[in-house]
């Protein structure tokens, strides 16, 4: 057990990567797979969105609960759900593709599976974010949150790559791989991640949250996740309807495109932040300033290669924005409320995941490029929030 503290962070990192693989794979593969299963685009968007609505309720509850029972139990429960749900997805997919299950039956079962997964796995992000905040000082908070983002970025790459290689041809096998990866992540946390030691007791008689300082960062989370979820939902649809690709080719090319986006994001979070060493608010502003023109290019892109170039720039911008925003939010929260603030932030993430797919699917009915211009509007709103006069978000921490 003496190696547990040294291995705790790599184990947590691996578990977050596994969870992100499942989320990324589902978002990339389901729009195209949904058509194969007999679902309409709106039904598939609703499947992703309605389950994300449950995350809005569950994530803050798990974040508050982590202040009382600890980060580790919340993580373990969430990872268990993340490992079991893909097995159900595999069964439903195989049954529907073999015509042993009706379209309505498959849709109902997938809704139940996604709702159950969202209700329990919604605690993974709040608990992980709070755990990292517990173990990093103010000077290294942006790098710590960058590690959190890098884990999800690597998972997004692997999930998109899995969709690229197997999502169109062998979706059942791919869901099985996701289940195995999340199961290994559960074991890694169970064996190697101890409970965090937190400075200061949980506050009584109220949340103690400075909402005047927190709300811009919570709004940025909502806008950024909504924008990214819209892109995930409509990428393969635009390739099908805008560039006239087949469903199988579009799924693969969409997976490759989103994989490139995640590679750029990881490069910034895992390497770039070590050299930039900018305060969180400047990281946020720089990322927003890059993201707006990148998405304008993506909306206007006439060919797949131009889309890839725009997504590289957007991925880098997203890495800067998410790391800077999480660090600023964590520092504004202070020591006594990391789990609570992580839960509130996850609520905005859930809202963005809920709004993005359904908005993307609805706007795609108007035009294949309409969702992309909507994302430009969202990113412009983020830039406006970054430019508003505000006090520095870095709050001095107690000496550890």
To the nearest 10°, report the CA torsion of 282, 355, 62, 152. Answer: -50
Identify the band that residue 372 occupies on the pLDDT scale cut at 50, 70 and 90.
Answer: very high
Cβ–Cβ < 8 Å for 347, 329: no
Residues in the chain: 400
Check pLDDT > 60 for residue 394.
no
Q: Per the structure block, which two tokens stand in for 88?
A: 């159900």
Q: Could you give the percent of the chain with pLDDT greater than 90?
A: 33
Rounded CA-CA distance 293/330 in Å is 28
Average pLDDT over residues 106-124: 91
* Cα 242 off chain centre by: 26
Say what percent of the chain tops pLDDT 70.
Answer: 88
| Predicted pLDDT at 398 | 39
Does the structure show a pLDDT above 90 at 311? yes
Range 371-378 average pLDDT: 94
pLDDT at residue 123 greater than cutoff 50: yes
The answer to whether 135 touches 143, Cβ cutoff 8 Å, is no
Cβ neighbours of residue 358 closer than 8 Å, sequence gap 6 or more: 42, 45, 46, 48, 49
Residue pLDDT, tens place only, 215-264: 888 899 999 989 988 988 888 888 888 888 887 788 788 888 887 887 88
- Give the whole-angstrom CA distance, residue 260 versus residue 160: 9
pLDDT of residue 370: 93
Q: Specify which of 20-34, 160-174, 193-207 reaches the highest per-range mean pLDDT.
A: 20-34
Distance in angstroms (rounded) separating the CA atoms of residues 2 and 278: 35
Choose from 40-54, 173-187, 225-239 the range with maximum mean pLDDT: 173-187
**Structural fold of domain 4-195+209-387:** Growth Hormone; Chain: A; (1.20.1250)
The more confident residue out of 151 and 147 is: 151
φ, ψ for residue 242 (rounded to 5)? -95, -40
Q: Where are the alpha helices (DSSP H) in 122-167?
A: 124-134, 141-162
Which of the 8 DSSP states describes residue 242?
Answer: T
- Start-to-end C-alpha separation, the chain: 24
Query: Which of 12-21, 39-48, 51-60, 235-244 is the least confident region?
Result: 51-60
**Which is it for the CA torsion 3, 271, 133, 356, positive or negative?**
negative
CB 362 within 8 A of CB 234: no
Residue of 53, 233, 255, 19 whose CA lies nearest to 125: 19
CB count in 10 Å sphere of residue 206: 6
Q: What are phi and psi of 378, to 5 degrees?
A: -60, -45
Q: Contacts for 246-253 with beta carbons within 8 Å, 24 or more apart? A: 247/32, 247/35, 247/36, 247/168, 248/32, 248/168, 248/169, 250/32, 251/28, 251/29, 251/32, 251/33, 251/163, 251/164, 251/167, 251/168, 252/163, 252/164, 252/165, 252/167, 252/168, 253/164, 253/304
Of 229, 228, 198, 210, which is closest to residue 329 (Cα–Cα)? Answer: 210
Give the pLDDT of residue 391.
42
Cβ contacts of 149 within 8 Å, gap of 6 or more: 265, 269, 319, 322, 323, 326
This model's pTM is above 0.95: no
User: Which pair of structure tokens corresponds to residue 239?
Assistant: 């390739």
Number of C-beta neighbours around residue 205 at 10 A: 5
Round the average pLDDT of the chain to a whole number and report it. 83
Classify residue 293 by burial, with Cβ atoms within 10 Å: 0-12, 13-18, 19+.
Answer: middle
């Amino acid at each position: 057990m003496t190696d547990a503290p040294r291995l705790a962070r790599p184990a947590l990192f691996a578990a977050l990567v596994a969870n992100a693989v499942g989320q990324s794979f589902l978002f990339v593969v389901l729009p195209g797979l949904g058509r194969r299963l007999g679902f309409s685009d709106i039904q598939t968007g609703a499947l992703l969105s309605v389950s994300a609505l449950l995350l809005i309720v569950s994530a803050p509850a798990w974040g508050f609960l982590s202040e009382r029972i600890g980060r580790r139990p919340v993580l373990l429960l969430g990872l268990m759900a993340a490992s079991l749900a893909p097995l159900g997805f595999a069964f439903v997919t195989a049954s529907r593709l073999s015509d042993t299950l009706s379209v309505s039956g498959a849709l109902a079962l997938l809704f139940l599976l996604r709702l159950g997964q969202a209700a329990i796995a919604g605690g993974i992000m709040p608990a992980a974010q709070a755990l990292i905040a517990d173990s990093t000082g103010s000077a290294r908070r942006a790098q710590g949150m960058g590690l959190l983002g890098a884990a999800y970025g690597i998972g997004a790459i692997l999930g998109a790559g899995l969709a690229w290689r197997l999502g169109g041809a062998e979706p059942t096998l791919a869901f099985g791989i996701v289940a195995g990866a999340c199961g290994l992540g559960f074991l890694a946390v169970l064996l190697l991640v101890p409970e965090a030691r937190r400075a200061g007791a949980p506050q009584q008689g109220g949340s103690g949250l400075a909402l005047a300082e927190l709300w811009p960062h919570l709004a940025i989370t909502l806008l950024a996740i909504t924008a990214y979820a819209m892109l995930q939902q409509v990428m393969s649809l635009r390739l099908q309807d805008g560039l006239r690709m087949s469903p199988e080719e579009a799924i693969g090319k969409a997976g490759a495109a989103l994989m490139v986006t995640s590679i750029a994001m990881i490069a910034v979070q895992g390497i770039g932040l070590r050299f930039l060493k900018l305060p969180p608010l400047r990281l946020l502003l720089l990322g927003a300033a890059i993201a707006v023109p990148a998405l304008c290019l993506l909306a206007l892109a006439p060919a797949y290669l131009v889309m890839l170039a725009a997504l590289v720039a957007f991925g880098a911008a997203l890495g800067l924005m998410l790391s800077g925003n999480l660090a600023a939010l964590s520092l504004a929260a202070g020591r006594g409320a990391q789990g609570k603030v992580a839960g509130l932030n996850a609520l905005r993430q859930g809202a963005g995941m809920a709004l993005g797919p359904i908005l993307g699917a609805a706007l795609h009915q108007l035009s294949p490029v309409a969702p992309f211009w909507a994302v430009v509007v969202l990113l412009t709103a983020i830039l406006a929030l970054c430019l508003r006069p505000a006090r520095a978000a870095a709050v001095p921490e107690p000496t550890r």
